[in-house]
Amino acid sequence: MRPTTLQDAGWRRAIWPGMVVVAGAALTTWFTCITPFVAFGVMAAGTLSRRDALALTVGGWLANQAVGYGLLHYPWTPSSVAWGVTIGVAAVMATVTAQRVEGRLAPTRTSLRGLIAFVAAFAVYELVLYAMAASVLGGVGAFAPAVVGQVLLVNAATLVGLHGLHQLASITGRLRPRRAGAPVASAPIA
């Protein structure tokens, strides 16, 4: 997973981020309260420029909030809105963490770098949420080991799925449709 540059065009610049945002919105409806922002941030950090990775994270968070409040009818209470903002901040911090790990470990093998980025981003994400829950949002009951383990599992499974989707999109992105009028290779006649 190498970050793209501003000169890169095609699916990495438009379709890939769109696919991740749509996946985030879909997963919000599936898991309701566990949107795998860490997985999105790690994939964004490993496949997009810094700016695009942050834009994707914010776009994914906005899609999550739109689905939550618009479709799933999250309550419009100060606590609910504060949790939403906190989750957005934690998602951005997780993405920034993954970007820094990706940058510092650039010579390291891609899979190991991605794993380390995931662990670091997950830790930062959970610490931001925990700090806000403990200090402002009214308690840390949602941080029982079983709950954190479930969040970790959803993020890890999503990361594996996104990696597979990215690989598939990379392969299909390299295939180009035949231009009109271009000669068709003929098969030998047996």
What is the reported pLDDT for 27?
65
**If 0-12 CB within 10 Å is exposed, 13-18 middle and 19+ buried, where does residue 119 land?**
middle
Please give the backbone phi and psi of residue 65, each rounded to the nearest 5 degrees, phi first. -70, -40
What is the reported pLDDT for 180?
44
Q: The pTM is what?
A: 0.77
What is the reported pLDDT for 28?
62
How many residues are given for the chain?
A: 190
Residue 159 Cα distances to 16, 38, 46, 88, 135, angstroms = 14, 8, 11, 18, 30
Ranges of residues in the chain with a pLDDT under 70 are 1-33, 173-190
Residue 50 Cα distances to 108, 125, 130, 154, 164, angstroms = 19, 18, 26, 24, 22
Domain residue ranges in the chain: 10-173
What is the reported pLDDT for 31?
59
